[in-house]
Amino acid sequence: MKKKLLLAVFFFLVWLLPATVFGAAETLKLTIKPVKKRYTVFEPVQIQFMIKNSSKQPVNLNNLSWPNGARWLYALKIYDGKQNRIMPVGQYVFRKQPTSEEITVINSGEVFEHYMAVEEMYNRLGPGTYTMIGLYHNYRYNLDTDQQLWTGEITSKPVEVEIEPMATETLDVYISNLRQGDDAQQQVTAMQILSLHRDSRAISFLRNIALQETNPNNTEAVKALGLIGDAAIPALSSLLTNLDQSRWPEIIFALGMTKSTRAIPYLVPLLLVKQEENISAWALQALASIEDIQARDLIVQKLKDPRETIRQIAVEALGKGRDPRSIPVLIEMLKTEFRANVRRQIAKALYLLSGEVYPYKDYQGKITAFNPKKDLSQDEKDALHDYLARDRQVSEPEDSE
């Protein structure tokens, strides 16, 4: 009888544990809402985050801890009309360090509100309809009873935001601002707006500005050409011919920003062994921005480059490319690569691609286990978490209302 009673108590505790330790994911509900559904290009897009405490006890969000070293609470996943995920030109995700003034105790049934500007995280959005999904990364929090509960990642329902193009007459004014060029800030604004509209009329003006060594906006003009995309590739190629090699990094980067397979023929010659090492490195990084099997195959070819730095950068590019087809290629390379720095990069890339830890030999010849906590930078940890979460099936949480 005692044995049956003990078994019953054991199974009750096993059943209760997930409810108390992992059930916290059910206590915080996240809803996002755009301040308005329709915006115009270049107009600030404001998103409201609302976190509701659905439990019967207060939640203290000031007592946060991040076991993986993450420093950010709020993030947005943004998809275009073709359900392609929009990757920012700048930061991968927005990080927000909480302060006592900003986040306090949320009592039962209360809602905490936070506003976020999309342009704080992403390059401004061009015309189109975008689907946005909010994420709240609160790894652990403590109740007043000091009972530690696990929440993990809380996901909102998707919402849609429409970005309308500017009127043709307005764009004509910005084209005129490129011609005049007497106001530097006015010219930069015109570049940004025209590139978001992918207005091909701006290409010749942007190319001319890029060629003007004394113009403070020449680098911004090259970036704008990259954002315009396909139609600007010939202009970027001509800049490689007409500008000094000191300007090549920004031009090669812009070719990658086009994300177009049409840029590949212009990048291939830069991969040749006879070229300077840093030029090949820039071209590899640009190819990594182009999601195409041809670009990936070119990167794979550089895994056998005689230059250690190029092999290392090629491995890094495959890791950032997130293509699972790269995993077997890198596993084989780990068996034959003789440089410890490259082997370490292979182990890092394999971890980013698969989540598995692969051993590698250090400079003393001993086997070393790759340690993600020590061997990944903060940006890499954030990017990895974002990658693992971005294609996850979005759950349908209860409404906060």
Per-10-residue mean pLDDT, the chain, length 401: 49 39 57 94 92 79 45 73 65 44 71 82 86 72 45 81 96 91 86 96 96 93 95 97 93 94 94 78 90 90 90 89 86 86 87 78 63 68 55 38 38
Residue 67 has what pLDDT? 42
Last residue of a domain, one of 188, 222, 247: 247
Question: Closest Cα partner for 24 from 66, 49, 59?
Answer: 59
Residue 304 domain flag: yes
pTM: 0.75
Q: Read off the CATH number of the domain in which 323 is found.
A: 1.25.10.10
Distance CA(349)–CA(2), nearest Å, equals 54
Residue at 253 is within a domain? no
> Burial code of 170-198, b = ≥16 C-beta within 10 A, e = fewer?
ebeebeebbeebeeeeebbebbbbbbbbe
Domain check: are 47 and 113 in the same one? yes
Burial class of 226 by CB neighbour count within 10 A (0 to 12, 13 to 18, 19+): buried
Question: What range does the domain containing 298 cover?
Answer: 259-377
Integer angstrom CA distances of residue 321 from 37, 317, 372: 33, 6, 18
Same domain, 150 and 119: yes
Reference 76, options 136, 29, 126, 16; nearest CA is 136
- Looking at the fold, whether 36 and 85 belong to one and the same domain comes out as yes
Distance CA 74, CA 118 (A): 11
Please say which residue of 120, 143, 164 terminates a domain: 164
Question: Could you tell me if 160 and 39 lie in one domain?
Answer: yes
d(CA 51, CA 100): 17
pLDDT at position 73: 64
Beta bridge partners of 115: 48
Q: Which pLDDT belongs to residue 257? A: 92
